[in-house]
Amino acid sequence: MAIAAWKFVLPAIKLLPSAKFLLTGLTMFASMWFYSLRFGWWFAGLFVVGILIHELGHVAASAFLGVPVSAPIFLPGFGALIVQKKWAQSAWGEALIGIGGPLGGTLAGMLMWGLYLETGSGMFLGAAYFTFLLNLFNMIPLFPLDGGRIVGAVSPYLWLIGLVALLGMAITGFVSNPMIWLLVILSVPHVWNGLKRGTADPIGGTKTTPAQRVVMGVAYVALSAFLFMAMQYTSIGIEGIPRSQPSSASSQQAA
């Protein structure tokens, strides 16, 4: 009986206008819950909204290029992603989609910084700091990170720098998130193919022009530098981030 009922319920759910955003909402809430365990709900909400604005930057760039993508999917503890349903016609197009996210994320960080200047709340400044930090991490020049898509329009050989940097972070423990190793594994086939072909332009696609390479190279350096400086200026904000306090029972167990 239940199986027969689902045959009618599932098609009905798919017809709902908001059904395709259900996964976004659920994973977004899961991310907020994950960050709230340590920093509280207010900061978690701010930070996750910043991640959402980052992803919407990708969505906007994809729509401009006519590249269909999924709704944002959040990964608690490691940001979020969108899934492209096809590649752009050139490495330049992929770079535009790639840089759309950090541009959106930078705007989100600036808005949080502005709220701090308006209210004096350290929580806004702390959220701005971590938003800038997350976007700067995404600028590491290695696919599938945004930086890898961006520098692909310049030269796929730059991916070697990103690969070495990410491996260094993982081996030294500078970043302890196990997802780093997954990124390294996912990047290897892409790096190998790019180095072998000497270009990130898709086979049969449009070639990226020298002018486009220069423009994207300058944009990459400028945005990375701005994010680094913004992170330095807002670094004092981490002192204003609320931390969740352990209960008395857990404190006694720890003792």
Query: In this structure, what are the phi and psi dihedrals at residue 81, rounded to the nearest 5 degrees?
Result: -155, 165
Mean of the per-residue pLDDT values for the chain?
A: 83
181, 169 contact by CB (below 8 A): no
pLDDT one-digit tens code per residue, 21-61: 787 888 889 999 999 898 888 999 999 999 999 999 999 99
Across residues 202-229, what is the average pLDDT?
Answer: 92
Structure tokens at 179: 């997802």
Write out the DSSP string of the chain. Answer: -HHHHHHHHHHHHHHSTTGGGHHHHHHHHHHHHHHHHHH-HHHHHHHHHHHHHHHHHHHHHHHHHT--BPPPEE-TTS-EE--BSS--SSHHHHHHHHHHHHHHHHHHHHHHHHHHHHH--HHHHHHHHHHHHHHHHHTSSSTTSHHHHHHHTT-GGGHHHHHHHHHHHHHHTSS--THHHHHHHHHHHHHHHHHHHT--SPTTSPPPPHHHHHHHHHHHHHHHHHHHHHHHHHGGGGGGS--PPPPHHHHHHH-
- Cα 38 to Cα 14, 33, 34, 244: the distances in Å are 36, 9, 8, 5
pLDDT one-digit tens code per residue, 86-109: 888 889 999 999 999 999 999 999
Structure tokens at 48: 């996750």
Across residues 2-30, what is the average pLDDT?
Answer: 59
Task: Give the rounded distance of the alpha carbon of 92 from its chain centre.
Answer: 19
Across residues 145-168, what is the average pLDDT?
Answer: 90
80, 31 contact by CB (below 8 A): yes
160, 191 contact by CB (below 8 A): yes
Bigger pLDDT: 69 vs 103: 103
Rounded-to-integer distance, Cα 11 and Cα 175, Å: 43
Bigger pLDDT: 250 vs 13: 13
